[in-house]
Every structure is written in structure tokens, then in C-alpha cells.
Amino acid sequence: MDKIRVVHYINQFFANIGGEEKADIEPEVREGIVGPGLALQSGLGDNYEVVATVICGDTYFGGHIEEAKKTILNMIKPYKPDLFVAGPAFNAGRYGVACGTIAKAVEDELQIPVITGMYPENPGVDMFKKDLYIIETKISAADMRKAMPKVCKLAKKMINKEEILSPAEEGYIERGIRVNYFNERRGSERAVDLLLDKVAGRPYTTEYPMPVFDRVPPNPAIKDLSKIKLAVVTSGGIVPQGNPDRIESSSATKYGIYDITGLDSLNKDKFMTVHGGYDRAYVLENPNLVVPLDVLREMEKEGVIGELANYFVTTTGTGTSVGNAKAFGEEFSKKLVEDGVGAVILTST
């Protein structure tokens, strides 16, 4: 029997090419397995063969999504895969977006089973969980040993057209698909039991979870910008030289508020970035690329904006949990309101 042909997608880091300084590399394809492809091959077993690995830098992919998608699809097609595996990407945001984008493109174009893996807070999850099977992983690549076998197990079921069970049983992230089944106990009994558990304060699980949409409606437009105080907030990790508050370079647990009174520009002698999720070379040379103080000061002088707040708010966005980011936002927004800030520019790298 011919082996089942598998193509694997990974980023520059897992291909051992390099970290952020190599994140801008363009897509390339190599014959056979690379990096975590070894675990993929051994998990899938002898009936499968990882025939090729596509590698692309996360920054390149994030900056050229449509182009990269097209190039990578064309690299994959000649290998005639029966199965496509991307990642897993754990909590790497751009990698997760790349894995999801390319997996969905392969599914749509080649109509073969595709699978990937991510940490639930990876932005790629919300973007693609309805379209794809995404195995739930832990936060970092230390989980590879446990994550890859789950990927392989579900991938084999997909290939063999076996029934895919619930997210909890298979270890994938809930896709919002409802499946009918027969329960031995009728609905009224189960409902009463649930109610009794709830009343008694015992743990209970709803049979009909509602999707959570946390959307905030847009505020009205600003009428007269020349009377408004504007503040800059960033997730790009800009801090004063020496990082006095020791904001983490990833998975931040704090944010900083730094004074810019009297400054016309963010000078590289006074400010730097500690962000661990992009190549910092350009921004270390000119921090205005993230906090555009130079042009905002000009616009303040020209009267385009009423006033620039005498500080900016900053943290590191990479790997930072949604919970922390939300808490930061809640807290500093109070200060912004108290200080009469009427508009915010938030920059992200």
C-alpha cells in the first residue's frame, strides 16, 4: 500500500533557522522532515510519510498574508499530500495566525484533512476554530512531546474517516458545532438535576453553552480634534533606557506610564524596546517607529491636535495573557479619563 503523504508547515524558529532576527525569511520548502516533523512522523507511524516541510518566517507571513498564502500553496501542491499539518504554534501569535491561514487555504483548495495545534489564547484560535480542528496545547513548546501525539491521533482518525468525538474527548478546541445524540435520560430529568446542582452550589455543566461575544460598540467620532487631549498607548514594549520597572519582554504582568514632558521625539539614548516578539534592531535605532512622538509633537504645535498627554502607556504584547491585558486596560483607562484624555492612538507591533 502506498504511504499516506503528509506535508508539514513550521516557522523559522522550529526549523532551527533562527529567532526574531530571522523572522522575515520568505517561504521555502524542503524534502522530508524538519525539526518537530520528527515527532510528527513517529506519531503517525509507518503508514505515513512526511514528504515535505514548508518553512516561513512569522514576520514575513504576518506582513504578506495573501502573498505568502499563494506562494506556500504552490509549494505544497506538487507534493500531492493526503494530509496537511501546521505547527503546533502554542502561544506564538503570528505563528498561530500563519498556521490557521495556511491550513484553511489547503483545506479549501486541496480538500484534504488539515490539522493544527495552539494554546487557547493564541489569536489564531478565534480566527480559525470554526473552520479547523485545532488541538489544544499548553503555552510553550515544552508541551511538544504531549501535543504532537494528540495531533497525530486526531489526524489519523480524519484520514480513516472515523467519527470525531467531542472536543473534550479528542483534545481539540471547541468549534461551535452541535451534534445530535441519544441520551438515556430524558431532557426534563437532566434539567431538574442541573437545577438541583445549581441550587445546592455543586458544580454543573450546561448542555447548551452560549458563545461569548465581548464586543464594545465604537464611541462617537471626535468633533474637534484641536480641542482634544490625545494619548499614546502601545503594546510594542517601549520603555526608558534600562527598563526601570522591569517590564517583561514577553508574557507581561505589568505596564508602565512614562513621562514625555518637553520631549520633541523619542530619542534612542533615552528610550528602547524590550519586546521579545520582533526584531528590535529598527526600533532600538528609532523608538518613534512605535510611539510616534516626533510627528505628534509637530501636529500639536501646528494646532491639529489640542494637546498631547505628557506621558505614554506601554507594555509588551507578545505572549501576554488576555486577562492581564484586560486588567491593564481597565486600570490605566481610569487614569486616562481622570486626566481628561479624549482620544487614544494604540500602536501594536
**Part in contact with other proteins (CB under 8 A); list of ranges 110-118, 163-171, 180-188, 333-341:** 333-341
- Output Rg (C-alpha) for the chain, integer angstroms: 24
User: Which one, 42 or 347, has the nearer CB to other proteins?
Assistant: 347
**Which residue, 331, 348, 319, is CA-closest to 255?**
331
Least distance from C-beta 342 to other proteins, angstroms? 7
| Residue 235 sits in the site that holds other proteins (CB under 8 A) | yes
β-pair partners for 11 = 56
Which lies closer to other proteins via its Cβ, residue 37 or residue 319? 319
Q: Decide if 253 contacts 327 (C-beta within 8 A).
A: no
Span 186-215, contacts to other proteins by CB under 8 A: 214-215
Cα separation of 153 and 176, whole Å?
21
d(Cα 323, Cα 9) in Å, to the nearest integer? Answer: 30
Q: Least separation, in Å, of the C-beta of 205 and other proteins?
A: 27
Cα separations in angstroms, 278 against 32, 56, 101, 233? 29, 15, 20, 18
223 binds other proteins (CB under 8 A): yes
Helix (H) / strand (E) element for 70: namely helix 65-76
User: How many CA atoms does the CB half-sphere of 196 hold within 13 Å?
Assistant: 6
Q: Does 236 bind other proteins (CB under 8 A)?
A: yes
Is residue 306 part of the contact set for other proteins (CB under 8 A)? no
Binding mask 309-328 for other proteins (x = CB under 8 A): ------x---------xx-x
The grid coordinates of residue 306 equal: 489640542
Tell me which residues touch other proteins (CB under 8 A): 23-24, 59, 62-63, 65, 93-94, 97, 123, 126-127, 214-223, 225, 233, 235-236, 278-283, 285-286, 288-290, 292, 294-296, 298-299, 304-305, 315, 325-326, 328-330, 333-334, 336-337, 341-349
